[in-house]
Amino acid sequence: MLNYIWSGLIIISLVFAITQDITDLVRDTWRNGEVHEIEIIFPSNGDPGSRQTVRFTIPDHDGEYEAVWRPVDETYEMVITVDEDMPEFWLDIAENQEAASETEMLAEVTSYDPQAGTAGILLPEVRYVKLRAITTAAFDMAEFAVTLAIGLIGVMALWLGLMKVAEKSGLVYILVRFVQPFLRFLFPNVPRNHPAHGIISLNMAANMLGLGNAATPLGIKAMEELQKLNPSSDKASNAQCMLLTVNTASVQLLPPATLVALIGTGVNELVISMALATLVSLIVGITAAKTYERFHPEDPHSENIPDEQKSEA
């Protein structure tokens, strides 16, 4: 399933990007090669033959804009400083041009009339906007993934350190006794008094209280405990699928901090609606996982049995 979703995302992205870019070329959305008329105002005693800062106006549009005028061989070019008041079309070009800059764009001067002060310029050509966008997105997100993972390390080390102490001191086993009845139903294949029960309950408690940065390391620790019982090294067990489902349903009784930051105290009104919605998603999720379990029967004492089943959902 994940194989199809994953490759589907990539293939659909490519198809959409190419379609969009071809449509742009056919419709000439970016009007590549079109000459735009402007009026140039040189500073007093300015000489068009030398590099200098000039101002210019666009016909039928209010406002004066800045550019650096520079002679190149027989002709001239302008480095235009992008200004929010420019026509929409100019801003779009600046944003989507091939050069990485969004604050400047390079225009080629095709004609210059010193008497009238008018000039015709070619704005940068814009092509393959979406193709470039998805490429950038792929690289940026790959980098972001690493930042994210590295950012997790500190919190993770803290919690896993604490959990190790809790485990060695027997604290986890005290907790296990309390939550056993409920968790036995969700994770029937986890043996009685197994530390996994304790960690799972801590993970759930952290989720409920909206402690996201405690919930993740605890969830991972719980996943590791379940992995010790999993006969396969790379295929999820039913218990692991259940743990994941419970975590995506995310039983939350307290609003997450980001929500408070975004909508302020109004969030208090939503506590009830969130608790109800999360309860519905939890019940439905557990029911779904329990239903799937029937089609993937597992031996309850399946410690250390080699991986034989190859069936993939």
Positions 234 through 253 that interact with other proteins (CB under 8 A): 234-236, 238, 240-241, 243-245, 247-250, 252-253
**Binding flag, residue 179, other proteins (CB under 8 A):** no
**Binding flag, residue 99, other proteins (CB under 8 A):** no
**Binding flag, residue 106, other proteins (CB under 8 A):** no
Residue 117 phi/psi, 5-degree rounding, is 75, 15
**Binding flag, residue 183, other proteins (CB under 8 A):** no
Q: How far is the CB of 152 from other proteins (least distance, A)?
A: 5
Using DSSP's 3-state secondary structure scheme, residue 208 falls into: helix
What residues pair up with 161 in beta bridges, in sequence order? none
Q: How far is the CB of 260 from other proteins (least distance, A)?
A: 10
DSSP states of 156-193: HHHHHHHHHHHHHHTHHHHHHHHHHHHHHHH-TTSPTT
Contact segment (CB under 8 A) with other proteins among 24-32, 109-117, 168-176, 193-201 equals 168-176
Residues 1-60 that bind other proteins (CB under 8 A): 1-2, 5-6, 9-10, 12-17, 20
H or E element: which one contains 56? Answer: strand 52-57
Interface pattern 206-235 for other proteins (x via CB under 8 A): ---xxx--x-xx-xx--xx-xx----xxxx
* Contacting residues for 148 by C-beta, under 8 A, at least 6 apart: none
Q: What is the dihedral of CA 156, 161, 167, 170, to 10 degrees?
A: -130
Residue 14 DSSP class? H
Nearer to other proteins, 106 or 259 (CB): 259
240 contacts 227 by C-beta, under 8 angstroms: yes
Q: How far is the CB of 247 from other proteins (least distance, A)?
A: 5
Quick one: which of 46, 71, 117, 256 contacts other proteins (CB under 8 A)? 256
Strands (E), 91-231: 104-113, 118-122
**Binding flag, residue 114, other proteins (CB under 8 A):** no
Q: How many residues bind other proteins (CB under 8 A)?
A: 108
Q: How far is the CB of 126 from other proteins (least distance, A)?
A: 16
Nearer to other proteins, 116 or 272 (CB): 272
* Contacting residues for 32 by C-beta, under 8 A, at least 6 apart: 125, 126, 127
H or E element: which one contains 36? Answer: strand 35-41
Using DSSP's 3-state secondary structure scheme, residue 113 falls into: strand
Integer Rg of the chain from CA? 31
Quick one: which of 25, 99, 158, 305 contacts other proteins (CB under 8 A)? 158
Nearer to other proteins, 168 or 192 (CB): 168
Centre a 10 Å sphere on the Cβ of residue 310 and count the other Cβ atoms it contains: 7
Residues 128-147 that bind other proteins (CB under 8 A): 130, 133-134, 136-142, 144-146
Q: How far is the CB of 237 from other proteins (least distance, A)?
A: 8
